[in-house]
Every structure is written in structure tokens, then in C-alpha cells.
Structure 1
Amino acid sequence: MTSDTLSSDQPYLARRALVVGGSIGGLTTALLLKDIGFDVDVYERTATPLHGRGSGIVLQPDTLRWFEERSSIDSAALKTSTGRVQYLDRENRVITDEERRWEYTSWGTFYRALLADFGTDHYHLGAYASGFDDDGDSVTVRFADGRVETADLVVFADGINSPARAHFDADAEPTYSGYVGWRGTVPLRELSEATRVLMGDAITYSVVPNSHITLYPIPGEDGVAAEEQLMNYVWYRNVPAGPELTELLTGINGFVGAVSLHPGQVQERFVRELRETAAAVLAPAAAEVVLATAEPYLQVVLDVRSRRMALGRTALLGDAACSARPHAAAGTAKAAADAWALRDALLASDGDVAGALAAWEPAQLELSRALLDRVTEMGDRSQFHNTWIPGDPSLRFGLYGPGVLHPIDRQPQAAAS
């Protein structure tokens, strides 16, 4: 599966690690821990195989790094790319156009590749971690089904609703931003030729009062070839907290989604209003994509940040530690950056797990703080202040800052966000 460049540097052979959370961040962490010698088991609370409902991911270097440095899977088979960033007006005219290359994947494509590298023998579905104890020498994790597992290191990568986060910071609770993200995908081949030509090689934005939509092409379920690609989008729209938000999040099955509402579950009247508004306010090419979406779905835009990420032999990373609004396209990049930094700290610690986590924590906390502050400002500019200006360099993607992909040994690139 992987190359052998670290085979002689595995100080954690025969030591055990548990990763709670089997999504992209959890799998990246598990692969890196396995790479330095740990025996790793991953526990995912969802009882069925995960899928990302086709949603897109902007690939920043931290996210893609596993496949470029350690995997035998060809990263080219996982991604699409575009060469431009553009903003459209209400007549489909390009009002700003910047030559910048960005790469993308789909959630399912990337997840399946990580799982293929990790394997399924030590990947456990339907395992809800309900509590844990750290006695200084090991960590014991208790699961709702009665199983108990003990390890030298436990990493919680279990998402924005992480039950473990309260152990690290009891006051860290998700707060609502004031808006939701409508998402969807449409096969490129189903769009008009004019729209494919206009948007097929670009990140495209349409900015309207108190809102904006972002669109870009991602791999389809059957591959990355042009005929298989999907146009992916997220459209940020304000919804007041309270009854209006609760009603929007009430699915056709009668259940209220806490952080999302899956495809096929959004009430038809809300889908109809979405399409009518798209036709009325968005650039026509962007509106065409929204109108062509068979089953748009919803994600609630939330903020949360823990003031602790390390506690003895346990670590909290990715969205469990800090869930930041998507405007910097940095969610998966932050989880991967946490995982790579943890791996480096463990390698530098001469086998001292607790010492490694203590050394790892400060920089990752600062990265979380800076990212959350930045994307909060970006979102507020778009949704409430109407100061999201097309082409403004401060609105570019980047985990480490506007247009910055990595602070060390990587050349900055930029894309308007």
C-alpha cells in the first residue's frame, strides 16, 4: 500500500491507538498512526458505510498529502481541477477573472480511497464511544454497546457534535452563524453547453445582497473524466434562529435535523422557493445548476472551538476541536494538518505519548483560532454587511491565510473565495 521511507522509523511498534470517528479526518489520522507503528482501530458511530452525498472538497496540500507522499493510489484518479476564479453578474458577464489553479475531489471519492488504504478489518461501524478514562498509563474507552477498549493513545475525530469534546472544554458548544448552506450537484453533461463552457474550468461565484453561491466541478461516482464530472455548489442563505430555522430543518419524515438535512428529506415547498429565488437573483448559469438539482440538501453553518485539544493520552482534532465556516475551504485541510502535526510530534517524542500531545497542542489551537476568526469575518461580510467584494484578495481560500496553502516549503497560490 505505501512506500517504505518510514519503515525504519516506527517507534510505536506494538503500541495501540484508537481513533474515534471514521470520516476523512479520522481515517487520515489512523493511516498516519499506523505508518509510525501503532496498531490502530477506528470506531465510527454510524452503523452503515459513510457517504458524502456527492458534496465537493477543495483539495489543499494538507488534505492531499497522504496520497502524494505515502499511498500507492494515484492522486490524479481522485481529483479534478480548474484554472480560473471568476465572478458573474446577473447577465452572466464575467466581472472579475483571475488565473489560479485549484483542485477538487468529492467526499465519497476521497473517503473510499482513504478506506482502501486503511482496510476494513480494523474499521468498526456502529460503535458509539460514550465515555473514557485516562489513568496515565493507558486510556479506556467505553462504547454504548457494552464493549470496552484500552489503548496507549486515543484520538477523537468524531465531528462537530463530538461527545468527547466536553471532557476537553465543557463550554465549547456549537453556535449558529445565522445562515445555512444549500448544497447539491448536477452532472456536467446535463447542463447547457454555454454553462459548461462558462463554468467548466473555473470556480464561479455569484454574489447577491446578503448571500453568495460558489460552484466548481468535482469527480463523479464513476471517475474524473469530463463526461463523469459533477458541478458542485454551496449557496449561503440567511435563516433566523428559532421557529423558522426549525421548520426549514424539519424533514419530510417529521424529524428535525440538527446539523443537516439529507437529499430527499427537504420539504418540497422549501425546494420550490429555493429554485424560484435562484432564477430571480443569481447569475443565470448559477441558477441553471440550482434549478437542475434533483434533490438539494441543507447544512447548518455552525461555529465551535475547543480551548483544549490534548488531555493526557487523548487528543481532539478536526471538526471535533474546531468547526469553521467553509469560506476558506479549509475544513478537511485543518483535520489533515492536525493529523500530520500529531504524527510529527509523536515521532519527535521518543515514545512519550502524553509529552507529544502536550507539545502538539499549542500550535494547533492557534491554527484553529486564526481560522475561525477569519472565516467568521468572511461570512459576516457576505451575509450581513454586504462587503464581500469580488476579487478582494482577503477573501481567498487557504487554511493558513488568504491564498496561503502551507507556511513551510509550499508556494502560496490564491483563489478568491
Structure 2
Amino acid sequence: MSERLDTRHDWSGHRALVIGGSIGGLTTALLLRRLGFDVSVFERTPTNLDGRGGGIVLQPDTLRWFVECSDQHPEQVSTSTHYVQYLGPGNSVVHRENAPWSYTSWGTFYRALLADFGTDDYHLGEYAAGFDEDADGVEVRFTSGRRERADLVVFADGIGSPSRRRISPDTKLEYSGYVGWRGTVPEREVSPETFELLHDSITYSVAPHTHINVYPIPSTDGGLAVGERLLNYVWYRNVPEGHELDELMTDKRGFLAGVSLHPGGVQDRFVEEMRSAATELLAPAAAEVVLRTEQPYLQAVYDAVTNRMAMGRVALVGDAASAARPHAAAGTAKAAANAWALYDALSDSGDIAEALAKWEPGQLELGQRLMRRVKEMGARSQFDCTWVPGDPDNRFGLYGPGH
């Protein structure tokens, strides 16, 4: 890395805007600043993002900033387990293998990245509504009336990115046929038997047309010690597109959510049905974690595959480019990989449009390959019922199973 940093192109005197202040956006902003850009981040949400999100399975690309560039180290922002296991009826262990993984909570990782970037150039409550490029740069227009110009603009504003329509107008959100119920429970609040069974593994429970995975993440205040963490889960359940999905995704206020319903927003009757189904369908330890969740929340699982990530001096990264269902645990890893590849491309070139044009093909291929894999994984678990405990094809990984 040190040799690479010594030979990179210096972008001092140039300005970059990153639209979207989440994990992918902050990683991109930090790397652009490392190249010399004067970087400003604009996040649409008006309040701090710290309390949002659940667990993240950490892969090398996600952690790379903390391995190579930060004074904070990976063990300060993550927890880990040694095993992958599948539970059957009565908590019988139907498969277990030695497979270490590390995890973080969205809030822990976000706080760490923001601490490295700082808040002086991090702007909340700014929604980017449109942009135009001319010979001298790019102008971004915000709904507040603000206008900002830069030499480079990177959109990292998530699966609902309005700029994807401008850059890749043929890309559509496609519903997968199922939703992910999510939630967290403090380890100390589950029974001793469940704690003992779950605390050192990522745990699966599989039933016809459904599956859940459970793993420990840092607590809301960043606690990493065993017994002080949270048990985090994602439980995939099939819901037909149309009125059934619309009714489920309508919050307590009567508003139809596009992709996700936050904790406290899901109608009580659906939470009650979900808890009842957990007892019937899941291994007892997994069901206990679900039942003890005070405010479960919902994510409708969508795919978005772009055929374009760059347009002149403008780029899409992460879910703003292509969003893949979570089965490979690779969403944040792909966003980080996009950012690191952009860093490399700009390191090697003094022309932004040229660098983006060289960067784009490999990143498109990465997103498309990941999409094919997770669609196959979803088909095995949710529709074909061919998900086999221990099957190597079901392992996490951005570049392939286990990689």
C-alpha cells in the first residue's frame, strides 16, 4: 500500500461531491480525500444516521479502510464467531463447521467511518434532486435550493437513488417475492441454553420456503464483549407481490413504504402473525430470538441491476448502482469494492472521465455476477426448497462462495 500511495496521481485542487452519507458514501469520501480531493458529503436524512440499521457481515473489502488507512483497527469495530451451524427440530445441530466470520452493527461501523472523515464537510438534510455536467465540471441541485459544483460527483445514495434513472434509465427495481424480517435482542436477554447455542456461531434455521440466520453484533453503544452484544437476525418469508405486499408494507400511520419499515412502524397484527409463525417454523433457539424482539422491522427484498455506472464525471456506487439481495452478505463489501476500484482508477489517471470509463466495466461485471449468485441462492431457499445445510454454494462472499 505504501508504494501505491507514493505513485498515485495527486488530485489536490480538485473538488468531489459524494451524495449519500452512509457506509458506502463515507468509504468513497475517505478514499477520494486520500487522493487529494476536497470532498463534501451530502446526506438526505436530516438527522444523524447513527441509530439505523442492523448487522453487517464483514468481508475484506468492507474492512480494508481500517486495515490499511485508519488509526482505528478492525477489532475495535467488530465481533466474531468461529462456526457456521444449522439447527433442526428441538435445536438439534444438523450441520456445523469451523468457519470464522466477523460482524459489525451498522451504527458501530458508521460511527467509525464518520470519526475518520469528520463532520465539517458532512452535510445532513440535503436531497440531491438533479445534476448537469458541462465542460468545466458538474453542478448538483438540491431541493433546499443549494447548488454545488465539483470536478467529480459520486452518487452513493442507496437502492432508491434518483440519479440511477438519469444514468441508467432502463434499470428497474424488481421484487424478489419475499421480505426480510429483521431485529436484534441483547444476548443477556435470551435463555442460557439459547445463548450457549448461538453466541459463537452464525446460525441458520431452514424450513420449506423460508430461512433465518442469526449472528452476534456489537451493541448499540459499541459493546463487543461476549454477553454484551446483540443477537441480530434476518428471516426471509415469501409474500406475493400486489395487495398482500402493499398491506404488509403499509405502516401504522397508513403510509405505504417503498423498501423498508423501521422499528415501531410495522402494524401490530403482522408482528403477532410473524411471532406465531416463528414458533411453528423455526428451531426453538432462533424462534426465541424472534419472540424476544421488541420492535422487529421489515425490508422488502428487491433487485436492481444497472447497465451503466459512469457518465462523464459522474459515477454510481454501491446500491445506487446495483442492489443485490442479502444472501451473500456482500452489499457493503460491493460498495467498498466500488470505492477502492475508483481510488485505483483515479490514482492512475489525470483525467476524471477517462478514469471512470476504465473503472466502469469491471464494476458492472462484479455487480452482475453477484446478482446471478444471490438470485440462485434465493431460489434454493425460498422457492425450490433445495437449500442444503453445509452446501458450499451457500457460503457468503462478494467474489464467489467463501471469497
Q: Give the TM-score normalised by the residue count of structure 2.
A: 0.97
SS of the residue corresponding to residue 123 of structure 2 reads strand
Give the 5 Å matches for 1:325-340.
Answer: 325-340=325-340
Residue-by-residue CA offset, 1:11-37 (whole Å, 9 max, x unaligned): 100100000011000000000000110
Q: Is the contact between residue 216 and residue 233 of structure 1 (CA under 8 Å) also seen in structure 2?
A: yes
Give the 5 Å matches for 1:140-179.
Answer: 140-179=139-178
The equivalent residue for 1:412 is none
Q: Alpha carbons of 1:90 and 1:136: their partners in 2 closer, same or farther (altered >3 Å)? A: farther
Residue-by-residue CA offset, 1:348-407 (whole Å, 9 max, x unaligned): 11x111110000000000000000011011101111110111111111100000111xxx
Give the 5 Å matches for 1:29-178.
Answer: 29-51=28-50, 53-178=52-177
AA aligned opposite 2:287: A
The equivalent residue for 2:287 is 287
Quote the offset at 1:52 in angstroms. Answer: 5.1
Distance across 2 between alignment mates of 1:220 and 1:211: 27
Residue-by-residue CA offset, 1:329-348 (whole Å, 9 max, x unaligned): 00000000000000000001
AA aligned opposite 1:74: H
The equivalent residue for 1:408 is none
Quote the offset at 1:74 in angstroms. Answer: 2.5
The equivalent residue for 1:201 is 200
Quote the offset at 1:54 in angstroms. Answer: 4.8
Distance across 2 between alignment mates of 1:368 and 1:52: 28
SS of the residue corresponding to residue 146 of structure 1 reads coil
Distance across 2 between alignment mates of 1:239 and 1:197: 33
Quote the offset at 1:10 in angstroms. Answer: 5.3
The equivalent residue for 2:234 is 234
Distance across 1 between alignment mates of 2:185 and 2:81: 17
The percent identity for this pair of structures is 65
Give the 5 Å matches for 1:275-354.
Answer: 275-349=275-349, 351-354=350-353
Quote the offset at 1:181 in angstroms. Answer: 0.1
The equivalent residue for 1:189 is 188
The equivalent residue for 1:218 is 217
Distance across 2 between alignment mates of 1:152 and 1:54: 32
Q: Is the contact between residue 18 and residue 151 of structure 1 (CA under 8 Å) also seen in structure 2?
A: yes
Residue-by-residue CA offset, 1:226-247 (whole Å, 9 max, x unaligned): 2320000000000011111111
The equivalent residue for 1:379 is 378
Q: Is the contact between residue 78 and residue 224 of structure 2 (CA under 8 Å) also seen in structure 1?
A: yes
Q: CA RMSD in A?
A: 1.3
AA aligned opposite 1:217: P
The equivalent residue for 1:414 is none
Distance across 1 between alignment mates of 2:369 and 2:4: 33
Q: Is the contact between residue 8 and residue 348 of structure 2 (CA under 8 Å) also seen in structure 1?
A: no
Q: Alpha carbons of 1:256 and 1:51: their partners in 2 closer, same or farther (altered >3 Å)? A: farther
Residue-by-residue CA offset, 1:288-327 (whole Å, 9 max, x unaligned): 0000000000001000011000110000010000100000
The equivalent residue for 2:256 is 256
Residue-by-residue CA offset, 1:60-88 (whole Å, 9 max, x unaligned): 00001001110001221110000000000
Q: Give the TM-score normalised by the residue count of structure 1.
A: 0.94
Q: Is the contact between residue 178 and residue 241 of structure 1 (CA under 8 Å) also seen in structure 2?
A: yes
Q: Is the contact between residue 136 and residue 312 of structure 1 (CA under 8 Å) also seen in structure 2?
A: no
Distance across 2 between alignment mates of 1:371 and 1:346: 24
AA aligned opposite 1:283: A
Q: Is the contact between residue 53 and residue 263 of structure 1 (CA under 8 Å) also seen in structure 2?
A: no
The equivalent residue for 2:399 is 400
SS of the residue corresponding to residue 304 of structure 2 reads strand
SS of the residue corresponding to residue 5 of structure 2 reads coil
Gaps of at least 5 residues in structure 1 are 405-417
Distance across 1 between alignment mates of 2:98 and 2:6: 41
AA aligned opposite 1:275: R
Residue-by-residue CA offset, 1:176-217 (whole Å, 9 max, x unaligned): 100000000000000111111111000100000000000000
Give the 5 Å matches for 1:1-12.
Answer: 6=5, 9=8, 11-12=10-11
AA aligned opposite 1:234: V
AA aligned opposite 1:36: L
Distance across 2 between alignment mates of 1:261 and 1:279: 23
Q: Is the contact between residue 262 and residue 297 of structure 2 (CA under 8 Å) also seen in structure 1?
A: yes
Gaps of at least 5 residues in structure 2 are none
SS of the residue corresponding to residue 90 of structure 2 reads coil
Distance across 1 between alignment mates of 2:212 and 2:111: 28
Distance across 2 between alignment mates of 1:268 and 1:7: 57
Q: Is the contact between residue 168 and residue 307 of structure 1 (CA under 8 Å) also seen in structure 2?
A: no
Distance across 2 between alignment mates of 1:8 and 1:359: 19
Q: Is the contact between residue 9 and residue 346 of structure 2 (CA under 8 Å) also seen in structure 1?
A: no
AA aligned opposite 1:400: Y
Distance across 1 between alignment mates of 2:119 and 2:259: 28
SS of the residue corresponding to residue 322 of structure 1 reads coil
The equivalent residue for 1:19 is 18
Distance across 2 between alignment mates of 1:140 and 1:11: 23
The equivalent residue for 1:407 is none
SS of the residue corresponding to residue 17 of structure 1 reads strand
Distance across 2 between alignment mates of 1:54 and 1:360: 30
Q: Is the contact between residue 90 and residue 281 of structure 1 (CA under 8 Å) also seen in structure 2?
A: no
Quote the offset at 1:5 in angstroms. Answer: 8.2
Across the two proteins, how many residue pairs are aligned to each other?
401
Q: Alpha carbons of 1:149 and 1:53: their partners in 2 closer, same or farther (altered >3 Å)? A: closer
Q: Is the contact between residue 17 and residue 152 of structure 1 (CA under 8 Å) also seen in structure 2?
A: yes
